[in-house]
A and B are shown apart, each in its own frame.
Chain A
Amino acid sequence: DIQMTQSPSTLSASVGDRVTITCRSSQSVNDRLAWYQQRPGKAPKNLIYKASSLKSGVPSRFSGSGSGTEFSLTINSLQPDDFATYYCQQYNDYPWTFGQGTKVETK
């Protein structure tokens, strides 16, 4: 199985901050990498697909980059709604796998 490792596990930030979450895969997943946001008690929501493509309707302060084994999700100017847990997921090889999650909390 491809292992997905996110860092950091927890990130403390303030409204207006620029934050970056990193996701590394144990082998290349090409660009078949998605990012999801999950708020407490809610279903996950897709933000980014194909490593850097922003899903329609997602605010442009979210961006993704990377390919191969190293990826990142950046949130420019963090908003109150953005305090949540973020997951990366590879869909290049079965079984698909998720990272362990990064919780963005209030500093």
Chain B
Amino acid sequence: EVQLVQSGEEVKKPGESLRISCQTSGYTFAAYWIGWVRQMPGKGLEWMGIIYPGDSHTRYSPSFEGQVTFSTDNSISAAYVQWSSLKASDTAMYYCARPIIIEGTTPGAYDIWGQGTMVTVSS
């Protein structure tokens, strides 16, 4: 069974750094992209970007470029998103999701989702 299990809730102060994880299982990790989606409290879904573990190719939304960094550890089939200096506006639920493959390595709709990691940034 394909599963994406995310790390637990985080409460941080502005200016602190953070890395949250998405532990995958049940499939060949390097063969599928992993995407990240933000949902601020009471708001809709925002596409943050996507990373291909096979070659670390990454596409960021312009809204998140320079604000977050995606990475993977292929040895343990895990994906990460990290912040170097959190802001209060980073308070949100963050989801990882695995897209289907349309053809070759082209990603499609998000097929499998993690349960989400709630990040709260407050002084």
A46 to B61, CA, bound (A): 21
Minimum CB–CB distance from B20 to chain A (whole Å) comes to: 14
A residues near B46, Cβ cutoff 8 Å: 98
| Interface size of B in residues (CB-CB distance below 8 Å) | 27
**Complex interface: stretch among A19-27, A69-77, A86-94:** A86-94
A91 to B108, CA, bound (A): 6
Report, nearest first, the 3 A-B pairs whose CB atoms are least far apart: A34-B109, A49-B109, A95-B61
A101 to B40, CA, bound (A): 13
A98 to B109, CA, bound (A): 11
What are 25 inter-chain pairs, A to B, with CB distance below 8 A? A1-B62, A34-B109, A38-B45, A43-B114, A43-B115, A43-B116, A44-B45, A44-B110, A46-B110, A46-B111, A46-B113, A49-B111, A55-B111, A87-B45, A89-B109, A89-B110, A91-B99, A95-B60, A95-B61, A96-B35, A96-B47, A96-B61, A98-B46, A98-B47, A100-B44
A residues near B59, Cβ cutoff 8 Å: 94-95
Query: Residue A87 contacts which of B35, B44, B61, B100 (CB distance < 8 angstroms)?
Result: B44
B residues near A (Cβ < 8 Å) are 35, 37, 44-47, 49-50, 59-63, 95, 97, 99-100, 102, 107-111, 113-116
**Cβ A32 vs Cβ B62 within 8 A:** no
- The secondary-structure label for the interface of chain A is loop
A residues near B109, Cβ cutoff 8 Å: 34, 46, 48-50, 89, 91
B residues near A46, Cβ cutoff 8 Å: 109-111, 113
A52 to B62, CA, bound (A): 29
Closest to B96 in A: A43
**Cβ A95 vs Cβ B49 within 8 A:** yes
**In the complex, A97 has a CB within 8 A of chain B:** yes
Residue of A1, A87, A94, A97 contacting most chain B CB atoms (<10 Å): A94
Minimum CB–CB distance from A98 to chain B (whole Å) comes to: 4
With known contacts A1-B62, A49-B100, A95-B49, A32–B110 Cβ distance under 8 A: no
**Cβ A101 vs Cβ B95 within 8 A:** no
